[in-house]
Structures are given as structure tokens and as C-alpha cells.
Homo-oligomer: A and B are copies of this chain.
Amino acid sequence: MLTNELTKLLNIKYPIIQAPMAGGTTTSKLVAEVSNAGGLGMIGAGYMTPFQMREQIQEIKKLTANAFGINLFVPNEFTVIEDEIQSTNQIMNQIRDELDLPRKDKMEVPHFHMVYQTFMEQIKVIIEERVPICSFTFGIPADDVVAELKKHNIILMGTATTAREAIANEKAGMDIVVVQGSEAGGHRGNFIDENQESLIGLMSLIPQAVDSVSIPVIAAGGIMDGRGLMASICLGAKGVQMGTAFLTCIESGAHQVHKEAILNVDGDLTVLTRSFSGKWARGIINKFIQEMREFEENVPSFPVQNALTQDIRKKSGEQNNPEFMSLWAGQSAALAKEQTVETLIQNIIAEANSLKFN
């Protein structure tokens, strides 16, 4: 059951993919260790410059001879609305006061053509560096981008939150689709269906996606151990993608305060918020989410809001203060452990094997 068309396609031993968490979590050590332990390590390159990407790819190649992958954010068109930015920035200034950060008057915000240009340069680096696997979040790239990557034999993985989005991924030429359940931590990857409608639990999402497409389906969201792996396989997935479980690993680059928030979660439940970035994402509730609750429907779109909160998140981290950082975590955060990547993967496989029914 654990060797299948997906493991063959990705050239990996176990059908375990480390979720490409953007923002510094996926260190070269984390990615390489996952691939060395028989899974698929993934670089979360969503916020990286093409230069940073190339550096990390080259570093990982020195640490593993096995396959690894990279994830990009597909740019969605957005407009910069000055009024929205000004009113949100006023609220941000109050939070800056709380953190002893200088107030800001004029915000530098990203513009779509710049974001798109960076994306195209990222694609170029992936082709030049011959990264074997590339996955996408927040949408599907244009046909010519897909064609160019396929010409270079790069295996493409899309993200879907509904059966409809899985079908769109298959139609666009993706080789594999990751279905992200409502359990998942971090950003929601929906791009066709509205947020509420797209919040589908994996028990519903996996079988519906599997029945709708013929490409292999990978399950993501709330999977932490061999139980989740075998459950996903029962539902028809060929493998799993795990974020929170890898985030608390020794090799992960997540902030220690973030790791501890997950490891000590003890019954606290996660919530969805768009206050940090302008896109809905799941994390552990803190002061920032609570204070922003009443404004969150009106903050600017991604990635504008992400730019507006950058100094706040950074300063909160420098102060080891969990209250103003994005503490992304899935709904199974309580099952996370501090351990090495190797131990995590070995334990998953041992537990999965023990569940083989007789």
C-alpha cells in the first residue's frame, strides 16, 4: 500500500511529502532530511527572491542526492486601494505602539506587475536548476508556463480545496493534485470556490476528489501520524502532505516561540483569520487575531496586507512574543511532537504498518 504510482512518479520511498511552508520554516536541513529519510522535502519559496531560491536549491543538492521539490505562490491579480491601506495602517499603528515599533505614515506595498515578474523569474530558476518537482498554491499558472515546465520534465503538483478545483488542476496539466482539507494550518489554497464553501474536511474531500480526477491525489490537513496516512489511503489518496508535524521538528526553521505555541497547545483550538496576510489562513489564536477580528473582513487583499503587517510580525518574533506573530497550525496541533525528521518518518511508517489489517 505504501509503494504506489505516486512514490514511483516522485521517485521516493514513502508517500510522505513535507508541506512547503513559506517564511523560513523549510530550511535546507529540513528539506534534505525529509528526502534523505525517504519522503519528499519541499522548499516553501512563496516569499523568496529568485536569488534566495537558487542559493537554497544549490545548498540542498549538497545535502541530499534524493528528489526534492519547491512550491510557488501563483500570483492572483489584486488592486491597491489607497483608502483601505490607510485605514488598516491606522490600526497597525496602534499595534506598532504596543510593540514599541515606529509608526508608519506611508506604506510601501507590492504591485501586481512586480509580483508577476518575480514569479516568472522563480520559474526560470527552477528550470535552470532542474528541480525535479514543482508545486503551486493559490491557483494554476498560465498554459505557457505549464508547457515550459513540462518541456523540462518537471513534475507539477497543484493544490485544490474542492473537487471542482481538483478537476481544474487536472485539466491544466498538473501531474498530481494536493487536496487541502479544512483541517490544514496556514494559508487556504482555494482559488475557485469561496472560502466558506471551500472549507471541506478531508473525510469528504479525499473521496470526492479521487472520484473526480485520474491523477494521483495527495491529502493535506491535520495528518500527523500513521493513523492519518492509512486513513488517507483508505479514502483513496496515494500519499499525504504534512505541515504542522514537520514544523515542530528539530530541523525546521520555524521560530522557537511558534514551535512552543504548537507543542503547548493543550486544548486551545485554531481559528481562521485573514488579518495577517489578506488571505484566510489557520493558526493558533493570539492577541493580534483577537484585536483584528472586527476589521478582518476589510483589510487589503494578499499580498498587500502581508506587507502591512511585516514589521509587526518581525518585531513580535524578535521580542519572543507569540501575540503578534502568525502561529500557523493545523487542527491536529495537539498531536505535534519535538523530534527529528527521521524519527517522525520512521514512526509514521511503523504505525502505518501496524495498522495493516489482518
Name A's B-contacting residues (CB within 8 A): 1, 162-164, 181-183, 193, 196-205, 207-208, 211, 219, 221-225, 227-228, 230-232, 234-236, 267, 269-272, 330-332, 334-335, 355-358
Query: Which of A204, A207, A232, A270 has the most chain B CB atoms closer than 10 A to its own CB?
Result: A204
Min CB distance, A236 to chain B, in Å? Answer: 6
Closest 5 CB pairs of A and B: A201-B201, A204-B222, A204-B331, A197-B269, A231-B231
Apart from the given pairs A208-B335, A356-B357, 9 other A-B contacts in the complex at a CB distance below 8 Å: A181-B203, A183-B203, A200-B269, A203-B228, A204-B332, A207-B228, A208-B334, A230-B234, A231-B235
- State whether A221 touches B196 (Cβ < 8 A): no
Min CB distance, A30 to chain B, in Å? Answer: 23
- State whether B225 touches A207 (Cβ < 8 A): yes
- State whether B227 touches A207 (Cβ < 8 A): yes
Q: Which residues of B contact A219 (CB under 8 A)?
A: 203
Give bound CA distance, A120 to B211, whole Å: 46
Provided the pairs A228-B235, A234-B227 are in contact, do residues A207 and B267 lie with their beta carbons within 8 angstroms?
no
Q: Which residues of B contact A221 (CB under 8 A)?
A: 201, 203-204
Give bound CA distance, A140 to B342, whole Å: 43
Could you list 16 A-B pairs, sorted by A, with CB under 8 Å? A163-B267, A183-B203, A193-B269, A196-B272, A197-B269, A199-B199, A203-B203, A203-B219, A204-B330, A204-B332, A205-B331, A208-B335, A211-B335, A227-B234, A227-B236, A356-B358
Give bound CA distance, A271 to B197, whole Å: 6
Q: Which residues of B contact A196 (CB under 8 A)?
A: 271-272
Min CB distance, A182 to chain B, in Å? Answer: 5
The count of identical subunits is 2
Min CB distance, A247 to chain B, in Å? Answer: 15
- State whether A207 touches B356 (Cβ < 8 A): no
Q: Which residues of B contact A162 (CB under 8 A)?
A: 269
Query: Which of A193, A202, A269 has the most chain B CB atoms closer than 10 A to its own CB?
Result: A269
Q: Which residues of B contact A227 (CB under 8 A)?
A: 207, 234-236
Query: Which of A181, A201, A219 has the most chain B CB atoms closer than 10 A to its own CB?
Result: A201
Q: From A184, which residue of chain B is reached at the shortest CB distance?
A: B201
Give bound CA distance, A211 to B211, whole Å: 31
- State whether A201 touches B224 (Cβ < 8 A): no
Q: From A205, which residue of chain B is reached at the shortest CB distance?
A: B331
Cβ contact of A203, chosen from B198, B199, B202, cutoff 8 A? B202
Q: Which residues of B contact A193 (CB under 8 A)?
A: 269
Provided the pairs A196-B271, A269-B197, A271-B197 are in contact, do residues A231 and B208 lie with their beta carbons within 8 angstroms?
no
Cβ contact of A232, chosen from B224, B231, B358, cutoff 8 A? B231
Q: Which residues of B contact A228 (CB under 8 A)?
A: 203, 207, 235
Give bound CA distance, A358 to B221, whole Å: 27
Query: Which of A199, A223, A270 has the most chain B CB atoms closer than 10 A to its own CB?
Result: A199
Min CB distance, A296 to chain B, in Å? Answer: 12
Cβ contact of A331, chosen from B200, B211, B267, B356, cutoff 8 A? B200
Q: From A351, which residue of chain B is reached at the shortest CB distance?
A: B234
Min CB distance, A244 to chain B, in Å? Answer: 10
Min CB distance, A228 to chain B, in Å? Answer: 6
Cβ contact of A201, chosen from B182, B207, B208, B335, cutoff 8 A? B182
